[in-house]
Amino acid sequence: MKRRAFLKGSAGLAAVAVSGFRLPLAHGADYGGRLAVFIQADGGWDPTSFCDPKANTPGELIINRWAERDEIRQAGNIPYAPFAGNEAFFEKYHDRMLVINGVDAQTNSHTVGVVHNWSGRNSEGYPATTALMAASGAPNLPVSYVNFGGYAETGGLTRYTRLDNPSLLRSIAYPRGEGEWDSGDPEDSAFVSATDWLAIDHYRAATARRLEAAGRLLPGDSLRLGHYRAAMTSGDALQAFADAIPPEDELEQPVDATIGNDGYHSQLRRQAQLTVLAFKTGVSVSADLFLSGFDTHARNDPGQSWLLANLTDGVDYLWDYAEQHGIADRLFVVIGSDFGRTNFYNADDGKDHWPIGSFVVMEKNQPWTNRAVGETDGLHFAQRINPRTLKRDEGPSGTIIYPKHVHKALRRYLGIEDSPGARRFPFNSTEDFAFFS
């Protein structure tokens, strides 16, 4: 009997029809917490054309060409730029959105900006918050932390998994070729031969016994033992995830565009689709989605327009697909970038690197949403903010918002601030911002 046929007939696993395939309602672990998605807009987006809109200032260089013919709009309590697909996005989601503006990455370097904005520290070594989520909430799930590109530092707390190739995932889930997609002959479609599989299984079991018999283990060996134990008990969950992934022609397809001499590529919808299925089947609790191309040193507006429209379309798809699969009430989404772009156009009609950026945090049915906090002036310079009131404060209680403030607040809100992993990588002497109060 094919494994999927067995799952469909099992009384313990309900199933629902989705887009021509059947999704087993499997949960690989008893994890009932939030499911975190961090979306990395790689290259440096232009927040003045998105969530921190800026009109042009008389006597200054033009900051935005859209401001020559339109004005700043507002959805609920959140201002946005009338640019790309922003209107539909902000009108639909402002009530589950917190915008944090005026975040200073303290750099114009992509390398430092990526590390700083996704770890909270401007030097290497600190884990991504998604890695902390996986290490704290469900470290032994088969693919507890999924990353599709960009920053994926784990600090040695867990491991991350790339899911760029669903066919390869199926081969790993069914290494002996017994999946529904095989040719009918397990030996023809096997990822490894029966002989090799027995050898692998023997080695895995022997290594686990050796580590268990060793008594006190070094941290690395202890983590490895946990992974071996998980591998021996998580096969069903990984196979359920593989079963849930639709055939290639039913997966969301990549999109490409050529604007002038610039080529753009996105798999954001597919990444969101695979992430939701991983969450649904209980094999994962956190994921990094990735969209590159935002480094628009030439032709800023056409490039940013395509990219921001693709970004908001991908986030919209993520939420809709999560609703379809019944996990939207657990979804927690963070969107950010390396930094921002200059408050003027260069000779190539592009914009260069600018250290001031923004984060967008999203969750359903929360009292802290439908707000924009932090502040920049008319030329997009960050202003000092009171961490308690979140109002502009030029006195001794005010401070510029840095990525460490955002990540410290995220850790606390997500319930991982006091986890062993977070204690190994603390934000000492860092103000507590009341973003989620």
- pLDDT band, residue 401 (cuts 50/70/90): very high
pLDDT per residue as tens digits for the range 335-371:
999 999 999 999 999 999 999 999 999 999 999 999 9
Checking DSSP bridges between strand 286-291 and strand 262-266, what pairing results, if any?
Answer: unpaired
Q: What is the pLDDT of residue 169?
A: 82
Assess whether pLDDT exceeds 90 at residue 4: no
| pLDDT score, position 221 | 74
71 phi-psi bin (left φ>0, alpha ψ -120 to 50, beta other): beta
Share of the chain above pLDDT 70, in %: 86
Q: Do the strands 35-41 and 286-291 form a parallel or antiparallel pair, or are they unpaired? A: parallel
Is the pLDDT assigned to residue 217 strictly greater than 80? no
Q: Is the pLDDT of residue 19 over 60?
A: no
pLDDT digits (tens, 9 = 90+) for 117-166: 999 999 999 999 999 999 999 988 889 999 999 999 999 999 999 988 88
- The sheet with strand 286-291 has its strands ordered as 145-147, 286-291, 35-41, 331-337, 356-362, 97-104, 371-373
Q: What is the pLDDT of residue 23?
A: 36
Determine the average pLDDT of the residues in 325-331.
98
pLDDT value, residue 8: 30
Question: ∠ at Cα 172 (127, 167), nearest 5°?
Answer: 95
Sign of torsion, CA 21 24 29 33?
positive
Residue 173, pLDDT above cutoff 90:
no
pLDDT tens per residue, range 182-199: 444 444 456 667 677 678
**How far are the Cα atoms of 56, 367, 379 from residue 59, in angstroms, in the given order?**
9, 40, 12
* pLDDT at residue 307 in the model: 98
Reported confidence tier of residue 6, pLDDT bands at 50, 70, 90: very low
Q: Tens digit of pLDDT for each residue in 249-294?
A: 999 999 999 998 899 999 999 999 999 999 999 999 999 999 999 9
pLDDT band at 216 (very low <50, low <70, confident <90, very high): confident
Task: Return the CA Rg of the chain.
Answer: 23
Residue 238 pLDDT greater than 80, yes or no: yes
Parallel, antiparallel or unpaired: strands 356-362 and 97-104: antiparallel
pLDDT surpasses 90 at 65 = yes
CB distance 369 to 383 below 8 Å = no
Q: Give the amino acid at 190.
A: A
* Contact criterion met (CB below 8 Å) for 43 and 110: yes
Between 215 and 73, the higher pLDDT residue: 73
The Cα-based distances of 359 to 57, 117, 118, 244 in angstroms read: 24, 9, 11, 32
Query: Helix 235-244 and helix 268-280: axis angle, to 10°?
Result: 140
With a cut of 80, say whether residue 76 has pLDDT above it: yes
Examine the pLDDT at 64 and tell me if it is beyond 50. Answer: yes
Please, are residues 430 and 405 in contact by the beta-carbon 8 Å criterion?
Answer: yes
According to the model, what pLDDT value does residue 152 have? 97
Cα of 193 vs its chain's centroid, Å: 36
Q: Read off the pLDDT of each residue in 61-76 and give the average, rounded to a whole number.
A: 98
How large is the average pLDDT for residues 219-246? Answer: 72
418-429 confidence digits (pLDDT tens): 999 999 999 999
In the prediction, which pLDDT does 229 show? 61
pLDDT reported for residue 163: 86
What is the pLDDT averaged over residues 217-236? 64
Considering the chain, what is the average pLDDT of its residues?
88
* Beta bridge partners of residue 41, listed in sequence order: 291, 337
pLDDT for 434? 98
For 380-390, what is each residue's pLDDT tens digit?
A: 999 999 999 99
Give the pLDDT mean for 99-127. Answer: 97
Checking if the pLDDT of 325 tops 60, the result is yes
Give residue for tokens 């990526």.
114
